[in-house]
Chain A
Amino acid sequence: MNEPQTIIDKLWDAHEILRRDDGESLLWVDRHYVHEGSFHAFGKLAERRAEVAEPGLTFAVADHYVPTRGPRGNIANPELARMVRQLADNCARHGIKLFGLDDPRQGIVHVVGPEQGLTLPGLLIVCGDSHTSTHGALGAYAFGIGASEVAHVLMTQTIWQKKPKRMRVSVDGVLPPGISAKDIVLAIIASIGADGATGCAVEFAGSAIRALSMEGRLTLCNMSIEAGARCGVVAPDAATFAYLKGRPYSPSGAAFDQAVEDWSKLATDEDAAFDSEVALDAARIAPIVTWGTSPQDALPIDASAPDPTRESNPERAQYLREALDYMGIAPGKKLTEIAIDRVFIGSCTNARIEDLRAAAAVLVGRASKVPGLVSPGSTLVKRQAEDEGLDRIFHLAGLEWGESGCSMCVGINGDLVRPGERCASTTNRNFRGRQGPGARTHLMSPAMVAAAAVSGHLADVREILGSRKM
């Protein structure tokens, strides 16, 4: 009998071409996603006059620089236009399939991959974007890499890695009404810290994780990087297989059945050992918002901002002072009293159909007290939302219904939160200036952003939905 293995070991072993004596392994890459930001890597290929080793395993999406407001047939900003065109040129030159601006399947790479069935259980997936961890939701080993590594993968379809430590985060129990995957992952990050999983691959397990939809699992794995993890993974199960069946690029017919048989063996064996374990009780998770400048600065909505004068550790007190100062929040202020200037619903974290439905459920029949943008995760999500009438709910609430792209999460397409403005956002990073220089970001779930929109301040969605069925 073989030694019991974790899903992390099984995924690793299936891709290890060789391991050198010094412990570094060369891994086979099943899917390589590229975007406009991959131009440095294509430049390295050009310098070496090198070709792409496996163009058929490489897929490109225009997402980071594409406009997400107004028409975008012709991009007015010449720099943005150049970035998008450069990707198309590189794809044409190397024979890479591109989901470009004019493609009905365009969207954010971490939404498009699963949606198209390109992301599958058991695959090793890389992309020059830290939120590549998202794809672990389907049982893939997926992680973000830098430009030099992107160039290496383009040229060899392999990557050098040292096997990370294995961490299991178990969330058991039943989530209370109004609590989503975003609250789970923010609770995890608040609990272990923004570097709590550094050097680790994380398996998310437990009954509360099993009960999550695929959308929820994608949100969860997406933010595993915000705890420093190399990657996050959820063992594939019946929900995963049902999600994948019939997707354009996923196997079909007998090949699908064969795949499901193999994928079913990926789950962690009983008694397999992890290097570390963390456990959370789902029943105790409240709606969470961030108050500071790191995703670990997260608290339940009914709490108050920290007070540096009550902090005994001087360095921690200094950190709190600087974060509160940047955020423009008085020490000890009740979180529900923090007024907001705008909302953003979008990003690879929370712009899938379920996210839009959750926000719409709060907004229906209500008006937003602040302006805001809703940017669907993909153009297909946009169409589906429109078929369901969600766009009308956002319109009637006074929010702008935009196009798909990374948009105001990172702001490099020009959609920015203005200096000093406070934004309730479904995104993944509340770093200083992330949504624009001087922008103040509060991270939360789509339902919580909607609750903030209709209240004009951070608010508890449970109270707003109290009179309605959740």
Chain B
Amino acid sequence: MAAKPHGRWIAALLLGAGLLILVAPFYFTFVFATHERAQIFSAPPPLWFGAQFLGNLQLLTERLPFWRNVGMSIYVGLMTTALNLLLCSLAGFAFAVYEFRFKRGLFACVVGSMMLPSFLNMIPGYLVVDALGWIDQPRALYIPAAAGALGIFMMRQYIASAIPFELLDAARMDGCSELRIFRSVVLPLLGPALGTLGLITFIASWNNFVGPLVVLRSVEQYTLPLALRSMQSPNNTEWGALMAGSAIAMLPLLLAFVFFAKRLVAGLTAGAVRG
């Protein structure tokens, strides 16, 4: 196992350089968020934090209904997450513990739907939402995304491995209905899987750009990514304010990552390891 010492140094150096390149844009987002535009575009650009963060926030709230946009992102994210937690665990439960007709075919549909590239749905999905009269409404985002196939897949795997089936039979003996079994016996045991699914669902919703771009129209309804992009203009972009907004868009994910890094990575690769 002992590599030659200089080989090890070179490898460590390369790894460190890679880390620097990966982390630098995040660092600059937060640094630039605390400077005015004129300072960001001066030579050399600022490398350390300034005092302009509140000023940038002020600018942001003048140009955009910024806090409303943040609230929109949170609202859509929470609705999507809550619906997915409920519907995916229900469907995952059904696929994991019941024997029923067409089960294999139906499950194949779930898995198959994961393979469909999302751009295929962009135009007809928009038309459906339009036909329903949901344009410019948050429900156009959270209802179509309310039961993700990946979530069902994840929950099925987890329930199959973590729930002792004797427990379900015992509950049936006691006269519990199936829904009651799900609610009182299964759901309380799903904590870790729900946590992972909740995290990745919320993050996907929080970062979603194409979805809102297609269905939202007015700036009051914009989610954060769309609002930030709408502030970008060819000539007169307030970059400091925009960086402050970007920093706020990054912050929850950075925090989530610091606390739940392992769980997130495991959840996101769940499909891969099984496949």
Say if A and B assemble together. Answer: no
